[in-house]
A and B are shown apart, each in its own frame.
Chain A
Amino acid sequence: MLRNTQLFPSLEENISRLKEITGESFDLLLNRFVCGGTDCLLICCEGMVSTQTAAELIFTPLASIPPQPDAAALMSHIRNCMLLSTDRPEVRDFDTLFRLVYSGFMVLLADGTSLGLGFGVQGYPTRSIGEPSGEGCLMGSHEGFVETVRSNMSLLRRRLKSPQLVMELMTKGKKSRTDICLCYMKDRVPEKLISDIKSSLDDMKLETILSTGYVRPFLEKPGFRLFNATGTTERPDVLCSRLIEGRAALLIDGVPFAVIVPKLFCESFQTLDDYAFKPVYAVFLRWIKYIAFIIAVLLPAFYVAVVMYHPELLNSTLLMLLVEAEREAPLSIVTESLLVLLMYETIREAGIRLPKSVGGAVSVISGLIIGDAAVKSGLVSTPLLTMTALSVLGGLVLPELDPQITLLRLAFLISGAILGLFGIGLLACAVLINICSTETYGFPYTAPLSPFKPSGMGDTAVRIGMRQMQSRDFTVEEYHE
């Protein structure tokens, strides 16, 4: 609507139209003044511009402009003879005007011309670059993405100084007008992937984009999928490694995470530290993570299934130990397991939502005091609590997969409780099919395991040395089906 509304040559008309559109919003500052003998208007949004920069770079030079014959000549003089800022877009319609003003630009209008000039003097408050909270790394960079898209772009550019790194800025969200930056390595990424992503983004008719979760469904294949075919990272170094592998990424203004397309299941088990240590230790760490995933998902279910239906799997000592422990417990083993798991999830949720100072204390009090009291009172058996704690601990190794692990753990527990190992087997089939049906733009989520790509196993089953890795010249296109 606003896109088609051109600026008027008359300054009065522009002012009245601006007031009409914004409802005379308090934060829109309209400064009328005379410049070069012409009535001008300098528009900005309060709190979005740096007043010091504006005073130095805009106000002082504008005040010293000699008289010009008309508005067009004034604009031409400013545009061609003065370098007021590095970012100087032309403004011809109200849509562009509002987008720029609300992005921290100052826009200059003059009476007698329908052309405006924008000056980038952004100065809104931003969070300084800090360590990523969710992706810990021992030996890598300690810089993480922040909420400002342009800062994130610079973090990326500092690490990839190649001209092949392309960053396309676009605006999405009918109301929020959020800046989204599509990043990719021109020489590595499949062209079709980029065109498909752009087409998906064009299909997006959202009003606002407030987190990565708003965009990701549009980049994934529709249908019920447990796992995400797109990934996120808050580490610029991780994103660089993905871009080098021929993936595309989206940086969203206001979100300290980048969305990576496509994402593979095996990448959830890879961290930057894997490449900092010796390959032998990295392989050990990686297999610890694979085992942790299996323990996190299956341990409580196996425990319940074995104790309830398949005690022959246990040796006599272990069996007697479990029988003794469970005999003391007043609740059935299924109820006990569900209770403990749900209790853990509640405590975790409370720990996350509460203020950090209180959240930590809640976790300690809940975990130690309630857990200890539950065991001492005999409400929960010690072996079951141990199994649940091990399972939960396994899930914490892979924070990225935590939502899926939580759901699968409960689902497997219920299926194991109803049908024993047979039930676990059936659910495993359904989950396996679900994972294998996950793909985005023709990139299967389970690659390189299935479809099996032997070349990909060097960084999946093991972690080969850097000398071998540098000669691989891998791009994700190898996995495309």
Chain B
Amino acid sequence: MNRISSPQFAALLLINDFFALICLSGEVSLMTIAGFLLGILIQAVICAGIVRLGGLEQKWLCAVLCGYIILWGGQMFSLLWSTSEVIYIPYEASGTAGKLAIGAVIGAVSLYCASCGIKALSRSAVIAAGTGVLSLVVIIFSAVTNARWENLTAPESQSLGSQIVRGMTLSGGLGSFAALLENVNSPPLRTAMRYFTAKACLTVIMLLPTLLLTGGIMSITDFPVVMAAQLSQPFSSQRIDSLFLLAFSVSGVFTAALQTNAAAGLLKKAFPEFRKLRNLAIIAAMIVTAMLFGSRPFPWQLSAVIALLPAAEIAARNYAGERARSKT
């Protein structure tokens, strides 16, 4: 049985969130942190509904969720390409061909990772999360010494509502959450609540030092978290920000692998006759989606799908229940 533990499940999803936060573009303020935290609270409430319903059984729902994960995976590839412009990757600069080559390499590694199964993926996610924590410790260590506390501001130009939506657009991992929850060997509600608590902590741990370090130059910064890593130099004569590249590539691969594995599982449920090359088809679909949509975000579409999923599921179950009652 491919059962995974609650911490492994949380580690898998948190790497996904870690990557999304690295790729976060635009200004970060106290309002952003508050908006993101409120967004997480809303997601937790919605997911409590998904958890209460148990496993995904309807084929159409699996197909829709699979499509959603592919969309998010595509956006992830797109974020990876745009972020890699500020993190040095050899050959990446050589135009579309370079980007495609990098995408193909990440796709190939992710394909291998996904094909090893959810157990191997979740076991390694715990170790990879450990490396992520180490890189965060470096940033926080440096943030303590280089922090400018006057950067803790909440500009009026940012409304709480817009920041909530912004946070939710980075929560594409919820598709994988819904798809993989049935594999967890702990009570689902407790697992979900643990994950969302950890996610809230991760958000604060990543965004607060970012705000403290890059607050002064936030308006001219494309990727504030990456910039914070570049500014955080704990040693006087040794730069360490390229090591952040390791955390970036590792979390990128794990995010893609997680989406692939989750989507392939849903594809199997939706179309049982589709037996071979499921992982490859999913990865290819993600890269094609990334190329089609580029870096344009889909905030409303994603939020709508997230919100609609449990509602649709409830409707479907009620409908099925009524039909069964009318037959008897």
Q: If A419-B105, A430-B113 touch, does A452 touch B246 (CB 8 Å cutoff)?
A: no
Top 4 A-B pairs ranked by shortest CB distance? A425-B249, A437-B120, A436-B123, A436-B124
Residues of B within 8 A of A422 (CB): 89-90, 245, 249
* Interface pair B245/A419, CB less than 8 Å apart: no
Closest beta carbon of chain A to B210's beta carbon, Å: 21
Asked if B191 is at the interface of the complex by the 8 Å CB criterion, the answer is: no
Closest beta carbon of chain A to B239's beta carbon, Å: 5
**A446, B121: Cα distance in complex, Å:** 12
Residues of B within 8 A of A316 (CB): 237
**A428, B8: Cα distance in complex, Å:** 19
Residues of A within 8 A of B119 (CB): 437, 481
**A444, B121: Cα distance in complex, Å:** 13
Interface residue from B127, B245, B250 paired with A436 (Cβ < 8 Å): B127
Residues of A within 8 A of B246 (CB): 421, 424-425, 428
**A450, B237: Cα distance in complex, Å:** 35
Q: Mark B79-92, 1 if CB is under 8 A from A, else 0.
A: 00000000011110
Asked if B187 is at the interface of the complex by the 8 Å CB criterion, the answer is: no
Q: If A429-B109, A429-B113, A429-B249 touch, does A421 touch B7 (CB 8 Å cutoff)?
A: no
Chain A interface residue count, CB cutoff 8 Å, equals 34
Closest beta carbon of chain A to B291's beta carbon, Å: 20
Question: Which residue of B is nearest A446, CB measured?
Answer: B123
Question: Which residue of B is nearest A429, CB measured?
Answer: B253
Residues of A within 8 A of B112 (CB): 430, 433
**A451, B5: Cα distance in complex, Å:** 8
A-B contact pairs, 21 of them (CB 8 A): A309-B90, A310-B88, A313-B240, A315-B237, A315-B238, A418-B90, A419-B91, A419-B105, A420-B89, A422-B89, A422-B249, A423-B90, A429-B128, A429-B250, A429-B253, A436-B127, A437-B119, A444-B123, A446-B127, A451-B126, A452-B126
Main secondary structure of the interface of B (DSSP, over half): helix
Asked if A25 is at the interface of the complex by the 8 Å CB criterion, the answer is: no
Closest beta carbon of chain B to A249's beta carbon, Å: 26
**A316, B239: Cα distance in complex, Å:** 11
Q: A429-B253, A430-B112, A446-B123 are in contact. List 8 more A-B contacts (CB 8 A).
A: A313-B242, A420-B90, A429-B257, A430-B109, A433-B113, A433-B124, A451-B126, A481-B3
**A205, B116: Cα distance in complex, Å:** 28
Asked if A473 is at the interface of the complex by the 8 Å CB criterion, the answer is: no
Residues of A within 8 A of B247 (CB): 425
Interface residue from A314, A419, A436 paired with B120 (Cβ < 8 Å): A436
Residues of A within 8 A of B299 (CB): none
**A421, B92: Cα distance in complex, Å:** 13
**A334, B240: Cα distance in complex, Å:** 23
* Interface pair A437/B242, CB less than 8 Å apart: no
**A316, B105: Cα distance in complex, Å:** 33
Name B residues whose Cβ lies closer than 8 Å to a Cβ of A.
3, 5, 7-8, 88-91, 105-106, 109, 112-113, 116-117, 119-121, 123-124, 126-128, 237-243, 245-250, 253-254, 257
Asked if A432 is at the interface of the complex by the 8 Å CB criterion, the answer is: yes
Asked if A434 is at the interface of the complex by the 8 Å CB criterion, the answer is: yes
Q: Which residues of A from 308 to 331 have beta carbons under 8 Å from B?
A: 309-310, 312-316
Asked if A426 is at the interface of the complex by the 8 Å CB criterion, the answer is: yes
Closest beta carbon of chain A to B60's beta carbon, Å: 32
Residues of B within 8 A of A313 (CB): 238-240, 242-243
Q: Which residues of A from 160 to 192 have beta carbons under 8 Å from B?
A: none
Closest beta carbon of chain B to A290's beta carbon, Å: 13
Residues of B within 8 A of A429 (CB): 109, 113, 124, 128, 249-250, 253-254, 257
**A450, B240: Cα distance in complex, Å:** 27
**A315, B105: Cα distance in complex, Å:** 31
**A429, B247: Cα distance in complex, Å:** 10
Residues of B within 8 A of A418 (CB): 90
Interface residue from A420, A425, A449 paired with B127 (Cβ < 8 Å): A449
Q: If A425-B249, A437-B116 touch, does A450 touch B124 (CB 8 Å cutoff)?
A: yes
